[in-house]
Structure 1
């Protein structure tokens, strides 16, 4: 059911995506992917906002 999928997706988005400036950046990255197939803005967002807790020392081993 498309309505349930939409509600489910919206709930996940609200739980995981940030508000404010970061939320705008996430929306623009998603729009770039949806409209143009460009994954780079989304990858950049994920690296900068979600994976910033990992430092280079974590990858050295």
Structure 2
């Protein structure tokens, strides 16, 4: 998965692991579910979103 915002490549099948580019950590995942014909958020992000603390 290419992310132009991070200028990096991530593997969505390996927990968002960085496979190329300057990103230093995996993308947080957001669990999804289905409610009828709708795609809905089914839980919290798997890790902290945003810039890591310095």
TM-score, scaled to structure 1: 0.25
| Larger strand share, 1 or 2 | 2
Q: Which structure is larger by alpha-carbon Rg, 1 or 2?
A: 1
| Larger helix share, 1 or 2 | 1
